[in-house]
Amino acid sequence: MSLDSKIPSGPLSEKWTRYKASQKLVNPANKRKMNIIVVGTGLAGASAAALGFSVDIFCIQDSPRRAHSIAAQGGINAAKNYQNDGDSVERLFRDTIKGGDYRAREANVYRLAEVSGDIIDQCVAQGVPFARDYGGLLDNRSFGGAQVSRTFYARGQTGQQLLLGAYGALSREIARGTVRLHERREMMELVVVDGRARGIIVRNLVTGDLERYAAHAVVLATGGYGNVYYLSTNAMNSNGSAAWICHRKGAAFANPCYVQIHPTCIPVHGDYQSKLTLMSESLRNDGRIWVPKKKEDAEAIRRGEKSPLDIPEEERDYYLERRYPAFGNLVPRDVASRAAKERCDAGYGVGPTGLAVYLDFADAIQRLGRDVVEQKYGNLFQMYQKITDQDPYRVPMMIYPAVHYTMGGLWVDYELQTTIPGLFAAGECNFSDHGANRLGASALTSPTATSSSPTPSRTTSPTKSTKARFPTASPNSTPPNSPSAPAWRDYSPSPSKNRLPPTPPLS
């Protein structure tokens, strides 16, 4: 297999501009004649649906609003430099590359940093209620791996607000008829005709029927595969199967071992647990991480004979501040996760299992007051209290690392096309932007950037007929890939429905 990343020539800072200037365009009238399938309605899917084509969009859930993007808490990075603290496109680029252990594709990362500011403007235009400061400007906070404040946020519900903004825009297109929404559908197969992706087979989760859809191109936006570890911070139906199906159909899969372990999750608390709950990284802005300095204290806490409040300040080991004074508690995620595991393995862990460290807000509450802490993190504290039955305003939270984000995914070139022509992958299901360790708050940037990424004239070859060619099937005939399937609905283009008229040459 030959991999051509199609990275434009020229200096990093000019690649995207040059690419845009030299890219073949599809005029709006022709775009409407081209049918695109988008699988996934998270931030990546909803953004891809906005590219102006005639779109069929699919999700497992009963509503696009339930895509996993809704769970993101902490924030979204953009190099706006509103804080005037020295941020720039170059610095966001460098932080992302360094955060990713120098394993990310530089051209993609530079593009991501470059479009990050526009993404915030677009989200604001879609009505996302980002937090604002006293002067009315958008506020920022810090995330791990950065020494500037560039993370835009909406309390601890940033993903929810971003997805609601995207959902609003998507709904408008659905009402206009340019996007057709198919919810409660699970992708079962990718259809490849003459080497090009031309459609998908889905299971209707309400009727159990198999249905088939044809298109000029397929965009996969189905999220990550963290659930292969069983316990992770992902929703249970973020199952990763769609990307795997495409891989089995021939799409290359890159860096499957690059999985991010998030340092601040609520520790495992029982055998019957099906997922873990993330406590946003933003908490490390004001929370201080520690374990007891003495093993005897840790053991007494584990036996329930002591509480963290019994450990005096001088007997606490703020190990991140001690070991990494320049970043303190805001070291990158992999560093914070490793350090927590190292302390627990050495016998200093707390909680009944010994697999936990403290995240303490006592200092922040004293410095800022409880009201301010509540304003910033109130919903996260409430969530923690509901799950653990402990009051984090009074007793330090207990946290431990957990599987969170998958940097690996379907291999894509600069145009987000996989190794199967006509199959594109966007958002967490591709591999391109985050190297071996994603910078906190940059995952929301990459799926949202999909609407400013390419795909236009690559959806079909200008020299070939652009009409999707599916074998037609009668309602009761059996699909080739599913011998025993009971029912079979055909959504292939038919001239009578006029869904996919032959497209004029696009060159």
Ligand X SMILES: Cc1cc2nc3c(=O)[nH]c(=O)nc-3n(C[C@H](O)[C@H](O)[C@H](O)COP(=O)(O)OP(=O)(O)OC[C@H]3O[C@@H](n4cnc5c(N)ncnc54)[C@H](O)[C@@H]3O)c2cc1C
Catalytic residue set = 333
Please state the separation of Cα 294 from the chain's center in Å.
39
Rank residues 357 and 443 by Cβ distance to ligand X and give the closer one.
443
Stretch 424-443 residues interacting with ligand X (CB under 6 A): 427-429, 441-443
Rank residues 308 and 409 by Cβ distance to ligand X and give the closer one.
409
Please identify which residue in 8, 144, 145, 223 interacts with ligand X, judged by CB under 6 A.
Answer: 223
Rank residues 292 and 332 by Cβ distance to ligand X and give the closer one.
332
Please list the residues that pair with 410 across neighbouring strands: 253, 430
CB 92 within 8 A of CB 116: yes
Residue 144 engages ligand X in binding (rule: CB under 6 A): no
As a 3-state breakdown, the chain gives helix, strand, coil percent values, each rounded to 5, of 35, 20, 45
Please identify which residue in 67, 79, 214, 416 interacts with ligand X, judged by CB under 6 A.
Answer: 67
Please identify which residue in 31, 35, 38, 75 interacts with ligand X, judged by CB under 6 A.
Answer: 75
Collect all residues with Cβ–Cβ distance below 8 Å to 149 and sequence separation of at least 6: 83, 85, 87, 140, 141, 142
Please identify which residue in 444, 468, 500, 506 interacts with ligand X, judged by CB under 6 A.
Answer: 444
How near is the Cβ of 67 to ligand X at its closest, in Å? 3
| Binding pattern for the stretch 154-183 against ligand X, x by CB under 6 A and - elsewhere | ----xx------------------------
Please identify which residue in 54, 140, 233, 459 interacts with ligand X, judged by CB under 6 A.
Answer: 233
Residue 139 engages ligand X in binding (rule: CB under 6 A): no
Please identify which residue in 447, 454, 456, 479 interacts with ligand X, judged by CB under 6 A.
Answer: 447
CA distance 384 to 378: 10
Residue 186 engages ligand X in binding (rule: CB under 6 A): yes
How near is the Cβ of 213 to ligand X at its closest, in Å? 11
Residue 405 engages ligand X in binding (rule: CB under 6 A): yes
Collect all residues with Cβ–Cβ distance below 8 Å to 255 and sequence separation of at least 6: 103, 407, 408, 409, 431, 436
Residue 242 engages ligand X in binding (rule: CB under 6 A): yes
Rank residues 76 and 289 by Cβ distance to ligand X and give the closer one.
76
Please list the residues that pair with 185 across neighbouring strands: 204
Rank residues 275 and 323 by Cβ distance to ligand X and give the closer one.
275
How near is the Cβ of 227 to ligand X at its closest, in Å? 10
- Tell me the number of residues near ligand X by CB under 6 A: 45
CB 295 within 8 A of CB 363: no
Please list the residues that pair with 430 across neighbouring strands: 410
Rank residues 32 and 275 by Cβ distance to ligand X and give the closer one.
275
Residue 418 engages ligand X in binding (rule: CB under 6 A): no
How near is the Cβ of 70 to ligand X at its closest, in Å? 7
Collect all residues with Cβ–Cβ distance below 8 Å to 416 and sequence separation of at least 6: 424, 425, 426, 430, 432, 450, 453, 454, 455
b/e string for 400-417 if b means 16 or more Cβ within 10 A?
Answer: bbbbbbbbbbbbbbbbbb
Task: Compute the residue count for the chain.
Answer: 507
How near is the Cβ of 238 to ligand X at its closest, in Å? 5
Residue 68 engages ligand X in binding (rule: CB under 6 A): yes
Select from 411, 429, 445 the least CA-distant residue to 153. Answer: 445
Strands of 196-204's sheet in order across: 185-193, 196-204, 210-214, 488-491
Per DSSP, the three-state class of 85 is coil
Select from 287, 307, 290, 289 the least CA-distant residue to 365. Answer: 287
Select from 377, 160, 162 the least CA-distant residue to 285. Answer: 377
Residue 260 engages ligand X in binding (rule: CB under 6 A): no
Rank residues 398 and 426 by Cβ distance to ligand X and give the closer one.
426
Please list the residues that pair with 338 across neighbouring strands: none
Please list the residues that pair with 358 across neighbouring strands: 290, 398
Residue 71 engages ligand X in binding (rule: CB under 6 A): yes
Residue 55 engages ligand X in binding (rule: CB under 6 A): no
How near is the Cβ of 164 to ligand X at its closest, in Å? 13
Rank residues 39 and 335 by Cβ distance to ligand X and give the closer one.
39
Residue 234 engages ligand X in binding (rule: CB under 6 A): yes
Using the rule CB under 6 A, give the single segment among 112-120, 185-193, 307-315, 489-497 that binds ligand X. Answer: 185-193
Binding interface with ligand X (CB under 6 A)? 39-45, 58-61, 67-69, 71-76, 158-159, 185-187, 221-223, 233-234, 238, 241-242, 278, 280, 404-405, 427-429, 441-444, 447
